[in-house]
Amino acid sequence: MIDIASLDKETLAHMLADFAKNWLAHDGLWFQAVEKQYGMEKAIELDAEAWERFTVIEAKRIMALHAIPENGGLDALKKALGFRLYAVLNDQEIKNETESSFEFYMVDCRVQSARSRKELPLFPCKSVGIVEYEGFARTIDSRIKTECIVCPPDPEAGKGRYCGWRFSI
What CATH number should be reported for the domain holding residue 86?
3.30.1380.20
* 162 located within any domain: yes
Q: Is there a domain that residue 39 lies in?
A: yes
Q: Cα-flanking dihedrals φ and ψ of residue 69, to 5°?
A: -70, 145
Which H, E and C letters describe 73-131, residue by residue? HHHHHHHHHCCCHHHHCCEEEEECCCCCEEEEEEEECHHHHHHHHCCCCCCCCHHHHHH
On whether residue 1 sits in a domain, the answer given is no
User: In angstroms, rounded to a whole number, what is the distance separating the alpha carbons of residues 52 and 97?
Assistant: 27
Domain membership flag for residue 2: no
Q: What is the mean pLDDT of the chain?
A: 95
Rounded to two decimals, the pTM is: 0.92
**How many distinct helices (H) and strands (E) make up the chain?**
5, 4
What does the pLDDT read at residue 118? 87
Q: How many domains does the structure of the chain reveal?
A: 1
Q: List the domain range (segments joined by +) for residue 14.
A: 7-168
Assign 101 a pLDDT band (cuts: 50, 70, 90). Answer: very high
In a domain, 153, yes or no: yes
